[in-house]
A and B are shown apart, each in its own frame.
Chain A
C-alpha cells in the first residue's frame, strides 16, 4: 500500500526544468523519500533520496518541504531520454521494503 500520491501524468518541454511533485502527508520521522524512474519496461533506476534536507546529485535535485509532507523532484534540463514513469516512495528504517505507487508518467516533448 503506497503512502504517496503523485499526478498520473505530466508534460515538459525539452531543455526546461521538470518539476515532479509528490505528496506524503503521513510520513513518519524515520522515513526517507526515494525517487526512482522506469523507462519503458526496463528495471527501475535509482535517482535520489533524502530525509529532510534538500539533496542534489548529477541526475536531479530533491526538495523536501519543512514539514516533510511533500517533496518535488527536479530534473534541471529535461531531455527526450528523461521520458519515463517516475516513482516517489517512502521507506522506513524499521521496515525498509520499498512499495511503489502508480507514479507519474513524464513525457518530454521537443
Chain B
C-alpha cells in the first residue's frame, strides 16, 4: 500500500458525460501528479500540482481539468467523454521540497470505461 488513495476504483459511464476522479495523497505530500494509461499503452503525463498550484502540464486535453484543494486532495475532471477516454487514470504524490530527488508514489488507479 503506497498510501495514495484513488476513488472510485472503477467507473462506467456513457459518451458525452462528465466524471470526477479523486486522489488523496500520502500524508505530508504536497505534489500530486495525474497520468492516463490506455489499454496496452504507456503512462501519459497529464498534469502536476504542488501545494495547490499547477506546476507542469503534459498531454492533457482541453476537455480535462484538474485542481488541488487546500486539504491537498486533487480531482481530475473529464468532460464530454469519448470512447477513447477509456483508460486507467493514476495519481501519484511526492513529499516536499519540490526537488527531483524525492520519489513519487502511485495509487492503484481508477479504471474508466466509456460506453
- A residues contacting B by CB (< 8 A) are 30-32, 34, 36, 38, 41-46, 49, 51, 87, 91-93, 95-103
Instruction: Among B42, B45, B48, B108, point to the contact of A43 (Cβ < 8 A).
Output: B108
| Distance A100 CA – B107 CA, assembled complex (angstroms) | 16
Closest residue of chain A to B111, judged by CB?
A41
Q: How far is the CB of A8 from chain B (nearest CB, A)?
A: 11
B residues within 8 Å of A by Cβ? 2, 4, 31, 33, 35, 37, 42-45, 48, 55-56, 58, 88, 90, 92, 98-101, 103-109, 111
Specify which of B43, B44, B99, B111 is in contact with A44 (CB 8 Å cutoff).
B43
- B108 neighbours in A (Cβ, 8 Å): 42-43
- Contact A51 B101, beta carbon cutoff 8 Å: yes
Q: Give the chain B neighbours of A32 by CB distance below 8 A.
A: 100-101
Contact status A44-B106, CB under 8 Å: yes
Q: Kindly report which residue of chain B lies nearest to residue A85, judged by CB atoms.
A: B42
Residue with the greatest number of chain A CB neighbours at <10 A, chosen from B4, B43, B58, B106: B43
With A31-B100, A96-B98 as known contacts, state yes or no: A46 contacts B105, CB within 8 Å.
Answer: yes
Q: A41-B109, A99-B45 are in contact. List 9 more A-B contacts (CB 8 A).
A: A41-B88, A43-B4, A43-B90, A46-B106, A97-B33, A97-B56, A97-B58, A98-B104, A99-B58
Which residues of chain A have C-beta atoms less than 8 A from B56's C-beta?
A: 95-97
